[in-house]
């Protein structure tokens, strides 16, 4: 039996995607305008976030390459045989499946899409994602082509959100709030970080399924830290049991069809000591000022500079651990980081309408010092014509978040 290097399989029917056909067409038109401007005949996407952004398909790699080929007239995803027809059903375009029987069938599938008679002169690639090994293999096949990086161009396109994207992000913020509400119900001495986190995660996943019954459900989670575990913002939850007087860091992260949102809050179990209260109030003061500063026409670096000055005035600048916020969008919290839209000293991007950005000041006071722990507040804002809308509604600060159940 002769086994193919690649093949098509349309098993079942196309399913409802998170966005309309017109939304995907608009995105495709924009990338093709970029291709025309840069004189590129073809773009090979390889990252999870860009493939999902342009097609709706979110891959699970397990060490296998995935891709999407875009030309002036074609858009085709390339997926591994282990996924069968799911990549075709969950995308707005054609799909080509490569097999594992022969090494580098992924590359042969790319060649088959464009044909060998008229090889592309200029190919766009994601230099921030493509490995050196894969880059070498791609160049060995397209020996007469030149390669141009498109990663920053695509990031800039993703930084401005459409009406449909903003709707899904707003729902994500609402669901993050619900997860936090559920977590607070279960905070009491003797309960573990793990068990409390499970309650919030389950509440969010059920609400996502209720709101988006046709979606796929994956990667919604909660980080819920207590005591010394609050020192790192991304520390995993543990089986540590809560104690009276513990500082807590609540972090809810719902994902809806690849779109992450987030909520972070500092809380205390039943009581807070004076040194911790002082640090907490300082971080809240910076948070409130940051929310006031986010508006169209302001540079990211300018916001950062003013908040640094406020932290210094309050005596906590030495404990700052992170930039003051970042963009939210397709897989943006990790894989699809939109680094051009972050509230940092070295980012000169000017905020504009339909950008979505967080305000999230955080300080960490090491163990052994008064007020030890990690303090974080996190809201998400949508930039409008003249101001910004805060879409996070869960309360923050000592008046609301000293929890006594």
Say which residue the tokens 């059920």 belong to. Answer: 206
Q: DSSP letters along 231-243, please?
A: GSTTPPP-SPBP-
Among candidate residues 49, 186, 234, 333, the one labeled active-site is 234
Query: Could you tell me how many residues make up the chain?
Result: 405
369 secondary structure, DSSP code: S
As a whole number of Å, the end-to-end CA separation of the chain is: 67
Distance (Å) of CA 236 to CA 222, 230, 323, 340, 375: 9, 10, 20, 27, 16
Q: SS3 of 82, please?
A: helix
**Sign of the CA dihedral running 195, 201, 205, 207:** positive
Q: Give the separation between CA 300 and CA 346, rounded to whole angstroms.
A: 8
Let me know: does 255 contact 220? Beta carbons within 8 Å.
yes
Give the residue among 82, 150, 149, 67 at the shortest CA–CA distance from 113: 67
Is there a catalytic annotation at residue 287?
no
Q: Give the separation between CA 43 and CA 26, rounded to whole angstroms.
A: 17
Structure tokens at 246: 């513990």
3-state helix, strand, coil in the chain (%, to 5): 35, 20, 45
Active site residues: 234
């Amino acid at each position: 039996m002769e086994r193919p290097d690649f093949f098509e399989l349309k098993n079942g029917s196309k399913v409802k995607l998170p966005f309309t056909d017109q939304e995907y067409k608009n995105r495709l038109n924009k990338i093709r305008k970029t291709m025309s401007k840069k004189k590129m005949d073809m773009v090979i996407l390889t990252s999870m976030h860009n493939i999902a952004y342009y097609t709706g398909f979110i891959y699970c790699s397990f060490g296998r390459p995935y891709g999407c080929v875009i030309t002036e007239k074609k858009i085709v995803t390339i997926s591994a045989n282990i996924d069968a027809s799911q990549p075709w059903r969950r995308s707005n375009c054609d799909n080509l499946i490569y097999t594992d029987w022969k090494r580098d069938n992924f590359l042969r599938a790319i060649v088959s899409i464009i044909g060998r008679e008229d090889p592309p002169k200029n190919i766009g690639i994601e230099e921030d994602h493509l490995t050196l090994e894969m880059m070498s293999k791609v160049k060995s096949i397209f020996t007469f082509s030149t390669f141009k990086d498109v990663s920053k161009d695509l990031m800039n396109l993703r930084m401005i959100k459409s009406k449909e994207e903003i709707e899904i992000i707003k729902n994500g913020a609402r669901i993050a709030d619900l997860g936090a509400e559920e977590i607070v119900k279960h905070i009491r001495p003797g309960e573990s970080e793990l068990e409390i986190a499970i309650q919030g995660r389950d509440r969010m996943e059920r609400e996502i399924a209720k709101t988006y019954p046709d979606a796929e459900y994956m990667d919604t989670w909660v980080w819920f830290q207590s005591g010394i575990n609050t020192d790192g913002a991304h520390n995993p939850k543990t089986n540590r049991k809560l104690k009276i007087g513990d500082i807590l860091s609540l972090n809810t992260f719902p994902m809806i069809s690849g779109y992450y949102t987030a909520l972070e809050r500092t809380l205390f179990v039943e009581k807070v000591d004076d040194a911790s209260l002082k640090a907490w109030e300082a971080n809240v003061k910076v948070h409130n000022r940051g929310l006031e500063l986010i508006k169209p026409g302001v540079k990211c670096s300018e916001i950062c500079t003013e908040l640094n000055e406020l932290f210094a005035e309050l005596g906590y600048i030495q404990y700052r651990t992170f930039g003051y916020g970042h963009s939210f969008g397709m897989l943006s919290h990790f894989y699809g980081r939109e680094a051009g839209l972050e509230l940092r000293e070295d980012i000169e991007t000017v905020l504009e309408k339909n950008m979505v950005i967080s305000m999230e000041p955080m300080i960490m006071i090491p163990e052994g010092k008064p007020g030890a722990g990690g303090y974080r507040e996190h809201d998400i804002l949508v930039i409008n014509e003249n101001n910004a809308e805060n879409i996070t509604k869960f309360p923050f600060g000592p008046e609301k978040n000293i929890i006594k159940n």
